[in-house]
Amino acid sequence: MKLSGLLTSVLALSTAVLGAKKAASADDFKHDDLVKVECAEIGEQGRELMNPDGGFRWLSPTCVESRRALSFYYGRDGPTQCSVKAEDKFHEQMLRALSFNRALKCRIPRNKLTFTQYLEVPLHIDGVRVRGGSKLKRISGNFNAVLHGEKGTLVAAAMYPVVDHPLPETVSGVTTMQINLRWYEGSAMTLLMSNKRHEEDFIIQPIVALMFCILTACAVYVVGRVYVESSLIPRVLKEETDRKAKARKEFEDSVKKETKKDK
C-alpha cells in the first residue's frame, strides 16, 4: 500500500510539473506559429489615420499565395513571398509611402496574449523608376527581415529593402514582395533559432529526466518485489521443505534398517 501511494504521488508530481510548464508557455509562440504583420494606414496628407478611440488604423496585405494576411512563421528561416493585388488597400499604402518618402509604421505581436504588446517595425518602401526620369515604374519588392525571439517571445525585429537583388517576377496589376527571414535566439546575432531548435531536440529537461529516473526506480522495485514474493520465496521455501522431508525420510529409513538388524 505504501508503494502504491509513492507511485501515485510521483505520477501526480510529474503531471503537475509538466502541466505547469505547458500552462506557463501557453501564451508564447511555438515554432511555426504565425506572426501577423500589420501597418498603420496613411491618409492622403501623408499622415497615419486614427480611429475614434485614438489608435492607429492597422491593416495588413492579403497575400495571393496564401489568401491570408502577411504573416511570418515563428523560428522558420527562408524566403516568404506575398503578392498584393493592385486593388488591395495595402498596395495604395505602399504607393503613398513612396510618394511621401516615408516608412510605413508597422508592428508585430510579441506573443499570443489577447492584449499583447507590439514591436514597432518601420518598413521603408523603395521603387524602381523609369531611367532618366522620376516616373515610378514599379515597387521594389525585395526585403530582408531579422527577428529575435527569446523563449517564445519576440524581443526585437527589423525589416529593410534590398535594392541590389534581382526584382521578383510580377504580373500586371500585382506587386510581389519577397522577404528573406532570419530568426535569432536572444538579442544577439550569434545563435540562429533553427540551430538552437535542432540542439534542443537532443536535450532532456532536468526535471523530466529526474521524474523518469524516479519512475524507473519505482518500476524496478515493484517488479523485483513481485518476483521475490510471488516466485523466488515460494520456490526457496518449497526446496527447503522438500530437503527437510527427504532428510526426515532418509533418517526414518535408516532407523528402520537399524531396528531390523537388532532383531
Q: Measured between alpha carbons, how far is 184 from 126 in angstroms, rounded to an integer?
A: 26
Q: Is the same domain home to 126 and 235?
A: no
Q: Is the same domain home to 6 and 120?
A: no
Determine the average pLDDT of the residues in 127-152: 76
Q: Measured between alpha carbons, how far is 66 from 84 in angstroms, rounded to an integer?
A: 11
Q: Is the same domain home to 12 and 52?
A: no
Determine the average pLDDT of the residues in 203-224: 74
What residues contact residue 98 under an 8 Å CB cut-off, 6+ apart?
A: 125, 126, 127, 136, 139
Q: Is the same domain home to 139 and 227?
A: no
Total domain count, the chain: 2
Q: Between these two residues, 34 and 195, which has the higher pLDDT value?
A: 34
Q: Is the same domain home to 158 and 222?
A: no
Q: What mean pLDDT value characterizes the chain?
A: 79
pLDDT value at residue 146: 94
Least confident range from 62-71, 119-128, 218-227: namely 218-227
**10 Å Cβ neighbour count for 56?**
15
pLDDT value at residue 214: 83
Label residue 101 by pLDDT band (50, 70, 90): confident
Determine the average pLDDT of the residues in 181-198: 73
**First-to-last CA distance in the chain?**
62
The upper half-sphere exposure of residue 220, i.e. CA atoms within 13 Å in the direction of its Cβ, equals 6
Of 203, 232, 253, the residue that ends a domain is 203
Q: Is the same domain home to 223 and 94?
A: no
Q: Is the same domain home to 191 and 242?
A: no
Q: Is the same domain home to 88 and 176?
A: yes
Q: Is the same domain home to 61 and 172?
A: yes
Share of the chain above pLDDT 90, in %: 34
Determine the average pLDDT of the residues in 207-235: 79
Q: Is the same domain home to 210 and 144?
A: no
β-bridge pairing 174-185 and 142-150: parallel
Domain region containing 18 = 1-27+204-263
Q: Is the same domain home to 183 and 238?
A: no
Q: Is the same domain home to 9 and 41?
A: no
pLDDT value at residue 81: 92
What residues form DSSP beta bridges with 82?
177
pLDDT value at residue 121: 94
Question: In angstroms, what CA-CA distances link 50 with 58, 81, 132, 231, 244?
Answer: 9, 29, 38, 81, 100
